[in-house]
Chain A
Amino acid sequence: MKKLFEILIILLLAGSVYAQVTVAPVTLHMSDADRNGYIVVKNNSSTTSWEVSILMKFGYPASDSTGRTYIYFPETENESDPSAVDWISFFPRKFILKPQEEQTVRITAKPKNISEGEYWGRPVVTSHPAISIGDDGSENINAGIGVEFRTVIALNYRKGSVYTGIKFDTLFAAYENGKFIVKSNFSREGNSAYLGNLVVKIFNESGKKVKEMRQDISVYYSLNKSIEIPADKLPEGRYTVEASINTDRDEPGAKILKGNTATRKIFVTKS
């Protein structure tokens, strides 16, 4: 008779229900006039201590051909890359957070001989429980998975005159399987990232707005963006899809650079 094995996959650690880590803010805007910043990391758990470490990598949002956005981290940095990694420091870089504790991590920028423009980095806040799972020596098989959270946030440093703009390169839209599929392609202008919103509105033949969707968008060099808008309940007919990109963001604590607004329209038939 085959023996039964007891297997328990432990994602984080046994008995630690609602272990929580909070990182704020998720975007840091620094400049020559504001060379100091901070991140607050809080352990909201009542039972578990967390070990936290912080490093920064050079990276920025990019997209694949399907319009999926991801953070691109080049394996090697080029001299032309606007990287802030070498001259931004964090203190402390590594610490233990006991239950309900929080730590303010101070960030200091010491740029040397950089030209005007915007410089980027992605602080990576890594946290994992500050205990390990041991062998219980029993006949059972116990399987444990040590979980680590990596929260990757954005940091931009601006020197001198910074400005941004956007070029709306292409717009494609179609109706498939109960959804409007809207694909847009953008190129950034200026010397800083374009942080804004993409607003897609759909109008029926009489000009009445029947759908609207808004998403945050960040264009560092160029970006393909794909949005799906469910519309299976709309009647058949000819629709106008209007896509507009702007910098009218209402983001707490952020310093969003203002840039131009760009709009394109396309007709789509739902049949």
Chain B
Amino acid sequence: MKNTLLAVIIVIASACSAQQLQVSYVSDLNIGSIVPGANKYVSENSPDAGKFVLTGDGSFMTVSVSFNFSRTISGNREEMPVKYTASYSTGTNNNRKGGIFDPYSGTTLIFDGKTKEYTIRLGAVLNAAAVQQSGVYSSPVIIIINVISN
């Protein structure tokens, strides 16, 4: 019985002390209204930008953040070109403007005891055709977080 109890305690202690990485989705990328045939730009630093947060545990850790985007968002029978923009900043302050990076190349983030959180923001440029069909348009975005310090 003692042995069993000891094993359980060791497992829990190990899980608590391990390095961890949390990904939080915070807000939608809201394009709002657009005029067909015109470009619509939502800045990566605007309140309408899509936002997510990476959180470390205070230990040293380096991660690369990259994205797999489609060049278009697709409706039932049509597609709409889209180009994404991105920025990052430390912490979770909604009003802080971030440093711009190319989301098609990605960026590297360094976590330590002082910097435990990064906010990543995504903006977009869309161009609806002059005759754009109504409907639901969607496109997958894959966010890849690679731990590169180990």
A interface, CB within 8 angstroms of B: 2-12, 14, 16-27, 38, 40, 44, 61, 68-71, 122, 127, 133-136, 138-154, 195, 197, 214-218, 249-254
| Given A71-B64, A149-B145, A141-B28 contact (CB < 8 Å) | no
Point out the residue from A18, A40, A254 that lies within 8 Å of B150, measured CB to CB. Answer: A254
Interface pair B140/A145, CB less than 8 Å apart: yes
Residue of B nearest to A124 (CB): B144
Interface band, chain B:
35 or more
The CA-CA distance from A68 to B2 in the complex, in Å, is 50
Closest beta carbon of chain A to B143's beta carbon, Å: 5
Contacting residues of chain B (1-50) with chain A, CB-CB under 8 angstroms: 14-15, 17-37, 40, 42, 50
Interface pair B128/A7, CB less than 8 Å apart: yes
Would you give 10 A-B contacts (Cβ < 8 Å), ordered by A?
A8-B32, A11-B28, A11-B29, A19-B24, A25-B19, A145-B139, A145-B140, A147-B140, A147-B141, A254-B150
Closest beta carbon of chain B to A22's beta carbon, Å: 4
Residue of B nearest to A40 (CB): B15
19 extra A-B contacts, CB within 8 A, seeds A8-B28, A135-B136, A145-B141: A2-B37, A4-B34, A7-B128, A11-B27, A11-B28, A16-B25, A18-B24, A18-B25, A26-B20, A44-B24, A71-B64, A141-B132, A142-B135, A144-B138, A146-B138, A152-B146, A215-B110, A215-B149, A250-B60
Closest beta carbon of chain A to B40's beta carbon, Å: 7
Point out the residue from A139, A143, A154, A215 that lies within 8 Å of B138, measured CB to CB. Answer: A143
Residues 81-117 of chain B, each 1 if its beta carbon lies under 8 Å from chain A, else 0: 0000000000000000000000000101010000000
The CA-CA distance from A20 to B21 in the complex, in Å, is 10
The CA-CA distance from A253 to B61 in the complex, in Å, is 13
Q: How many pairs of residues, A versus B, come closer than 8 Å at their CB atoms?
A: 216
Residues of A within 8 A of B142 (CB): 147-148, 150
Taking each of A27, A134, A145, A150, which has the highest tally of chain B beta carbons within 10 Å of its own beta carbon?
A145
Interface pair B61/A143, CB less than 8 Å apart: no
| Given A5-B128, A217-B149, A218-B149, A148-B21 contact (CB < 8 Å) | no
Residue of A nearest to B111 (CB): A216
Interface pair A253/B146, CB less than 8 Å apart: no
Residues of B within 8 A of A10 (CB): 28-29
Residues of B within 8 A of A148 (CB): 140-143
The CA-CA distance from A152 to B128 in the complex, in Å, is 35
Interface pair B34/A7, CB less than 8 Å apart: yes
The CA-CA distance from A80 to B143 in the complex, in Å, is 31
Closest beta carbon of chain B to A49's beta carbon, Å: 14
Residues of A within 8 A of B19 (CB): 24-27, 251-254
Residues of B within 8 A of A6 (CB): 32-33
Residues of A within 8 A of B15 (CB): 24, 38, 40
| Given A138-B134, A141-B128, A154-B147, A25-B140 contact (CB < 8 Å) | no
Point out the residue from B20, B33, B80 that lies within 8 Å of A22, measured CB to CB. Answer: B20
| Given A69-B62, A135-B135, A141-B137, A9-B30 contact (CB < 8 Å) | yes
Taking each of B108, B122, B134, which has the highest tally of chain A beta carbons within 10 Å of its own beta carbon?
B134
